[in-house]
Structure 1
Amino acid sequence: MTDEVRTVRANGIQLAYRSWGVGTGEGSPVVLLHCLGEDGEDWRGPLVAQLAASHPLYALDLRGHGRSEWPGEYGLEQVRDDVLGFLDALALERVVLIGHSYGSVVAYLLAQHHPERVERLVLEETGALRRPDSPLEVPEAPVGDARFDWEVKTQFVRQRNAPDPAWWERLDAITAPTLLIGGGPSSHLPQEDLVAMAERIPEARLVTIEDGGHLVHEDRPKEFTSAVLTFLTETDGATGTP
C-alpha cells in the first residue's frame, strides 16, 4: 500500500486523497469518507488491507480536513457535490461508498441524489438528519492548531439544528443495497435512529457490533471488517440501479 497523497480539483476546490489497490484487482472501486475531524488516513487498517487485494480504494480528505482545501464554506450538499466531482475527475462511474459518521451523511446524500453512481452503500454510525428535540450547542473553537477547520463543526451543528426535511424524506430514494453498522449502547448516537433509517431505506440491513462505540472500525476492527466483507460478498452482482 502506498502512503502517497494525491490531489485532484473537484467542485472548484482541491481535494486530497490516498489510494490503495489501484490496478491490482477487478472488484468495484471503493470510496471511503471519514468522520468529522479526521482525514483519509483514518481508514488505514484491516478493512483497507483486505479490500485492496481485490478492489481499488480511494480515501478522501473531505473539504476543510487534512490536506484538502479549507474554503470556509461547509454545507453538507457542497461536500456531497465535492465527492461527486471527485468521482467524475477520476472517471469512477459506479462505486461502493463507505462512510463513517459525518462521512456517512455525505455518502447517503450522494446516494439519494445520484443513485446511478452508488453500487453499494455502507454507513457506519450514521446520523438521522431530523430536527433534534433540543438544539445542539455550537462549540467554541479550541486554542492551537487543528487537523481540520473548526468551522466545519460549527456549520455542521447549525445544519443539524435546522436540517432540510428532504434529507430524511429522500432516504427511500436510495436504491443501492445498504449496510448500516451501529456500535450499540456504548455509542453516543441514538441507536434507534439507525433502526428507523434501516426501515426507510428500501434495501437496507442493520448490524450492531456490541461495545463498538462510535468508532467501530477502530475499536472493533475485526468485527467491522467481517461485517463489511460479508455484506459485499452477499450483495456481489446487485445492480443498485433506479
Structure 2
Amino acid sequence: MTLYARQYPGDPDRPAIGLHCMMGSSALFGPLAEHLDGAVDLYAFDFPGHGRSPAWLPEDGVDLHTFVTRHAARMIERPVDLIGHSFGATVALRIAVGVPEAVRSLTLVEPVLFAAAPTPSREAVQERLAPFEAAGDWDGMLRRFLGDWGAPGEIPTDGPRAERLRMQMAMVLDTNAALMADRAQILREGGLESVDAPVMLISGAESPPIVHEIADALSARLPDVGRATVPGAGHMLPLTHPSQFADLTRMNLERA
C-alpha cells in the first residue's frame, strides 16, 4: 500500500518522523514545523484511511497499529527524533521499545496506551462508546468520540466525508486490541526501561483524566523523561496550541 507523505524540510542532520492521531493526518505537523523553523527535517505520512492515503484494507494477521509501526520503521535509516500524537504516540513508543538504538528522542503528546491506565479508567473509556456500538449508532458514536478527544461540533450525516468518518470510527474500535490490551506488549517487563533516549510527555490540562494516568504510569518507568501540561489545552493541542507544543518539542530535541 502506498501512503501519502509530506516533508517539512529542515536540518538534514536531524531527521524526524511525525505520527498523527486517529482521524487526523500528516497536516497535523504543519504548525509544529512552522514554529520549529527548520530545527528538524520532518517527515510525516497519512495512515491508511486517513488524509490522502487509500482506505485501510486489513492484511492477514496485521492490524493497523502493526502496519503503521512497520511503515514508520522502514523510514528509519539512522537515529531519528520521533514526534507522535495520541495513536501516533503509541506507535512511536512501540518503535522505541522495540529498537531503542533507532531513536534519538521521543516527544509524545497524550499517548493513548490505555492498557497502562488503571482498569476502572480503561473500562470507563470503553463504556463511553459501548451503547452507541450496540445500537449501531455511528453518528452518535462519532459525536461522543470527537467530543471527548477531538473537536465537538456538527457531524455530517451524508456524503463522502460522513462515510469517511464512519470508516475511521470503525478503525478506532478495531484498535482496542492494541491500545486497551497492549497486544504489541509495549508494557512488557524491561521494555520501557530500555528506552535511553530523552522522552517528553505532553498533556493538555483540559484533556480526559485518563491521559494523565497513562502519563503517570509511563513516566514511572522511562529512564529519562520530562513531563509538561499545557494550560487551557485539550487532546488536540498540536493544533490549538502549536507554539507551546513547539517550545516543548524543541526543548526535548536539545536534550538529545
Is the structural similarity TM-score above 0.5?
A: yes
Say whether the 8 Å CA contact 1:120–1:178 is kept in structure 2. Answer: yes
CA drift of 1:189 comes to: 4.3
Tell me the secondary structure at the aligned position of residue 35 of structure 2.
helix
In structure 2, the partner of 1:102 is 87
In structure 1, the partner of 2:115 is 130
Q: Say whether residues 1:33 and 2:51 are aligned partners.
A: no
Q: Structure 1 unaligned runs (5+)? A: 1-12, 237-242
Q: Say whether residues 1:188 and 2:205 are aligned partners.
A: no
Question: Are residues 153 and 223 of structure 1, via their aligned partners in 2, closer, same or farther at CA, if it must alter by over 3 Å?
Answer: same
In structure 2, the partner of 1:65 is 50
Range 47-56 or range 214-223, more displaced:
47-56
CA drift of 1:63 comes to: 2.4
Question: Are residues 155 and 221 of structure 1, via their aligned partners in 2, closer, same or farther at CA, if it must alter by over 3 Å?
Answer: same
Bigger relative contact order, structure 1 or 2 (CA pairs below 8 A, ≥6 apart): 2
- Distance (whole Å) between structure 2 residues aligned to residue 160 and residue 31 of structure 1: 21
Q: Say whether residues 1:152 and 2:171 are aligned partners.
A: yes
Tell me the secondary structure at the aligned position of residue 146 of structure 1.
helix
What TM-score comes out, normalization by structure 1 length?
0.79
Aligned length, in residue pairs: 215
- Distance (whole Å) between structure 2 residues aligned to residue 226 and residue 159 of structure 1: 30
Say whether the 8 Å CA contact 2:113–2:179 is kept in structure 1. Answer: no
CA drift of 1:150 comes to: 3.6
Question: Normalized per residue, which structure has more helix?
Answer: 2
CA drift of 1:52 comes to: 4.6
Alignment equivalent of 1:175, drawn from 196, 199, 213: 196
In structure 1, the partner of 2:153 is none
CA drift of 1:153 comes to: 1.0
% identity of equivalent residues: 24
CA RMSD of aligned residues (A): 2.3
Tell me the secondary structure at the aligned position of residue 82 of structure 2.
strand
Alignment equivalent of 1:44, drawn from 27, 30, 51: 30
What TM-score comes out, normalization by structure 2 length?
0.75
Q: Say whether residues 1:14 and 2:2 are aligned partners.
A: yes
In structure 1, the partner of 2:75 is 86
Q: Structure 2 unaligned runs (5+)? A: 140-156
